[in-house]
Amino acid sequence: MNNEQWNSLLDVVDGRKTDVLPTGFIIDSPWLPGWYGVSTMDYYSNDQLWFEANKKAIETFKDVMFLPGFWAEYGMCTEPSAFGAKCRWETANLPHAEKISSDIDVLCALPKPHAEKDGLLPFIINRLKIAEPQIEAMGHGIKFAVARGPLNIASFLFGTTELMLAMMEEPGKCHRFIGMITDFTVDWIGYQMEKFPSIEGILLLDDIVGFLGDDLCREYVVPCFKKIYGSFGAKINFLHNDAAGLVSAPYLQEMGVNLFNYSFEHTIAEMQKLTGNRVALLGNIPPRDILKAGSPQDVREAVRRSLDGVEDFSRIIMSCGGGMPQEVSSENIFAFCDEVSGLAATNN
């Protein structure tokens, strides 16, 4: 992300009027390797291919803010690997982290990982250190610290069903387990900021938030995320949760979130109402059924429909309801950007 894009992002989050309706997408390993023409394994294991794939996306779609920008990651294996989860790798698909145990007592006994030493985390830092001179030579910077959220990490170590049941049936142990992961996440975010002073934003990704009811959201989600975001003075506190559910929307400000990427099942107008239009929104056309599988005309129509009922165009970044999925074509991304450009001229 270059300085102009970063400043535009700050303007959107702060609710300041912008000259154009901005476009942004979360991009990482589900989309970039196939779009660039390399295997997922090559993308993960070759630092220069990783850099070139991200560079090509930035140079191809010049009007798009790619978030978080030069994201160094190993799919869902990144944080679970630090806890000792077995990671299974495939040539052309995403890796998978196997759960450690279905016994909450075993998980409560796990030591908190060292963010600077354990699992794949040192490789994340080293990849960025290697690429930083090339990134800066492009006029870009490393602006975000990134981590999976504590409930997301817990679900990989424990199993999603097991985690959900434990939240209700063994809350004391579950709080201890999730609390340890939360403390680790603070360490991991802090370590990224220590190694890269250019970081001014935090991105947390946690779809498990969308599976909970109001009581469990208040009990587990709000305090965990409030602690993580509240531990730093970041200018952008970005949350991705594209699971169906609006439960967290009224609590986003309390959690510290000021930028939210959410499910395409919820309209921009609906989310504006639930958040009091005080949180910037990144969305919101269907990523798989339209952006990936639709025609360019389908994409254009979905962009227009996504703004139905919207009266205030501040705090909106046009995107899809989630990260960029596999096999989205350049043609569809160009159609998206072109349609937003036309709407911006009408609505701003």
Q: For position 347, what pLDDT does the model report?
A: 65
CATH number belonging to domain 3-347: 3.20.20.210
Task: Say yes or no to pLDDT of 191 above 60.
Answer: yes
In sequence order, the 6+-apart residues with CB closer than 8 A to the CB of 294 are 302, 332
DSSP state of 15: T
Q: For position 93, what pLDDT does the model report?
A: 87
In this predicted model, what pLDDT tens digit does every residue of 113-128 receive, in sequence order? Answer: 999 999 999 999 999 9
Give the pLDDT band of residue 260 (cuts 50, 70, 90).
very high
Task: Say yes or no to pLDDT of 245 above 80.
Answer: no
pTM: 0.97
Give the helix ranges, DSSP H, for the chain: 3-13, 32-36, 40-45, 47-60, 78-82, 104-108, 121-137, 150-158, 160-169, 171-195, 214-216, 222-230, 252-255, 268-275, 296-306, 330-347
Task: Say yes or no to pLDDT of 98 above 90.
Answer: yes
Mean predicted lDDT score pLDDT of the chain: 96
Q: Is the dihedral of CA 206, 31, 161, 281 positive or negative?
A: positive
CB 29 within 8 A of CB 40: yes
Mean pLDDT over 192-212 rounds to 97
Residue 281 bridge partners (DSSP): 260, 316
Q: For position 163, what pLDDT does the model report?
A: 97
In this predicted model, what pLDDT tens digit does every residue of 60-86 receive, in sequence order? Answer: 999 999 999 999 999 999 999 999 999
Strands of 236-241's sheet in order across: 64-67, 23-26, 316-320, 280-285, 259-262, 236-241, 201-205, 144-148
Task: Say yes or no to pLDDT of 249 above 60.
Answer: yes
Identity of the residue numbered 111: P
Mean pLDDT over 326-333 rounds to 97
Mean pLDDT over 282-310 rounds to 97
How far apart are alpha carbons 205 and 262 in whole angstroms? 10
How far apart are alpha carbons 72 and 67 in whole angstroms? 12
How far apart are alpha carbons 246 and 2 in whole angstroms? 32
CB 260 within 8 A of CB 290: no
Cis amide bond preceding 348, omega within 30: no
CB 185 within 8 A of CB 153: yes
Give the pLDDT band of residue 343 (cuts 50, 70, 90).
confident
Mean pLDDT over 39-59 rounds to 97
Q: For position 345, what pLDDT does the model report?
A: 58
Give the pLDDT band of residue 309 (cuts 50, 70, 90).
very high
Give the pLDDT band of residue 348 (cuts 50, 70, 90).
low
With residues binned 3-state (H G I as helix, E B as strand, rest as coil), the percentages for the chain, rounded to 5, are 50, 15, 35
Task: Say yes or no to pLDDT of 19 above 70.
Answer: yes
Task: Say yes or no to pLDDT of 50 above 80.
Answer: yes
How far apart are alpha carbons 206 and 216 in whole angstroms? 15
| Every domain of the chain and the residues it spans | 3-347
In this predicted model, what pLDDT tens digit does every residue of 264-285 receive, in sequence order? Answer: 999 999 999 999 999 999 999 9
Question: What percentage of the chain reaches a pLDDT higher than 70?
Answer: 98
Mean pLDDT over 204-218 rounds to 95
Backbone angles phi, psi at 150, to 5 degrees: -65, -35
Token pair listed for 273: 């109402």
How far apart are alpha carbons 234 and 231 in whole angstroms? 9
Beta strands 280-285 and 259-262 are parallel
Task: Say yes or no to pLDDT of 145 above 80.
Answer: yes
Task: Say yes or no to pLDDT of 44 above 70.
Answer: yes
